[in-house]
Structure 1
C-alpha cells in the first residue's frame, strides 16, 4: 500500500480481520505521512461490523463484509464476489495484516482459489505473567467462587488465559463450578475453549462484542429466579 504511484499498486484486496489490525496499520501509515483516502485503488474487506466501523473512523469504507463474521466466510465472500464480477482470484495479490497467532484457514482458502496472499504479522497477543498483581487478584476471586462469567472474544484469549491459569493454579477444579459460566463470542472461540478443557455455557449468535453481551444478558435472564407478585 505504501506506494507513491497508485498505478503500480500490486494488490487487488486488503483484508482486515480485527479492529486492532485496522488501528495498527492505519496509524502506521499516518505516521509515515500517507493520506489514507488517496491510497492505491485496492478493495477492502472487513471480517465483521466492528472491524468495518474501525475502518470507517479512518475514512475507509469497506467494499465487502461477510454475513457470518469468521475467516471462512471472508474467503467465501471474496470468491463469490469475484465470480459475480466475472473475474477470478487466480494470480490476484491480497494483503492480509493481522495477528501473528491467527488461524491459517483464510490464507489456505484464498490460496486454493489461486490468490497470492501476503500475510503480515501486524501485532501479537501476549499473555500476562504468572506473578502479575491483577492476575493474582483474579485467581483469588476464582478460588472463592466470586466470578460469575468468564468471557472470551477470540481463540488467542482462551489460549493465553489457560496458559496463565495453569501457571498459577494447582488444578482447574474451580473452572468447572456450576456457578461459573464460560461465554464465547462465536463457534471458533468455543471450539478452542472446549479443546482446552473448558465447558462453554454461552455462545453469541452474532459474532461481535454486542452479540456476546446480548447472549450473556439472555442467558442471565433465563437463569434468574422468577419474581412473584405480592
Structure 2
C-alpha cells in the first residue's frame, strides 16, 4: 500500500534531521514534521589534546551515538589526527553510529545484536579480550550502564552536552491540538522528558499515537503514563516507520 500513512502527520523529535525518513513518510502519503526537543553541542575543554592522546593508545573506543562520533571526529580533525593515529579497535551501538564512524574512516569491529547499552555489556566481553583498556566516548546524559555492567575498567570521556530545545514546544502543542491523526516518534528518554515537562501539561499524552525507539525510551514513556503503540524490535528510525506501516496495513485489512 503506497499511501499507508495518508491522512497521518508524523512528528520526529530527535536531534538530527533525518532527511531520508522524512522523504519516506511523504512517499507513504503522510505529512512529515521535524520538531527536535533536544539539541547537542560539542564540549570543548583544555584537556581535549590529552584525552585524544589517551584515546590513541586504548584497546577499544566505544561509541553509542552519532553525536559522540561527530564530536570526537571534530576534536580529532582540530588536532590534526586521522583514524590511522588510533591503535585500538572500535565498538559501536547501532547501525547509524557504525555508519557515521565508517564515513569518518574508522572500521567497526563490534556491534551488539540489539542496539542497546545493556545488551552491549552482555555481548562485548566475549570479544573484548583479557582486561581490555576501554574508553567510552559519550554525552553528558549517558547512563552508567557500561561502567556498571562491564567487569573491567571503562574510562569515560564526555565530548558533547545535550540540552533542552524549547523553540519547537509551542508549535508542537498547536500540532497536537490541531491534527486528528498524529504520530509522535521518540528516540531518546531526553526528548520524552522535554515533552513531559513542557508539552504534556497542556495537552496530555493521549491526543497522539506514540512510537518509541528502544526499550529505554519506551520505559521512560511508561514512567509518565504514556501508552506506546509502536515499538520495533530493531532500534532504528527506519524500523519504526516499517512498524507503523505494517500495523496500518493490518488495520486496513481488518476494516
Q: CA deviation at 1:63?
A: 0.7
Kindly provide the CA deviation profile for residues 72-120 of structure 1, in whole angstroms up to 9, marking residues without a partner as x.
12222221114xxxx423xx3211111211222121012xx1x222112
Aligned to 1:108: 148
Q: 1:93 aligns with which of 98, 120, 133?
A: 133
User: Is 1:123 matched with 2:154?
Assistant: no
- Larger RCO, structures 1/2 (Cα 8 Å, 6+ apart): 2
Aligned to 1:58: 104
User: Is 1:22 matched with 2:56?
Assistant: no
Hey, what's the Cα distance between the residues in 1 that align with 2:145 and 2:182?
A: 33
Aligned to 2:237: 209
Structure 2 unaligned spans of 5+: 1-50
Hey, what's the Cα distance between the residues in 1 that align with 2:216 and 2:123?
A: 18
Structure 1 unaligned spans of 5+: none
User: Is 1:157 matched with 2:203?
Assistant: no
- Contact 1:126–1:160, Cα closer than 8 Å, also in 2: no
- Contact 1:13–1:93, Cα closer than 8 Å, also in 2: yes
Aligned to 2:206: 176
Q: Structure 1 residues 100 and 124, CA, compared in 2 at 3 Å: closer, same or farther?
A: same
More strand by percentage: 2
Matched residue count: 205
Hey, what's the Cα distance between the residues in 2 that align with 1:15 and 1:76?
A: 14
Hey, what's the Cα distance between the residues in 1 that align with 2:158 and 2:180?
A: 37
Kindly provide the CA deviation profile for residues 177-212 of structure 1, in whole angstroms up to 9, marking residues without a partner as x.
4xx210011212111110122111110111111111
Quick check: which has more Rg, 1 or 2? 1
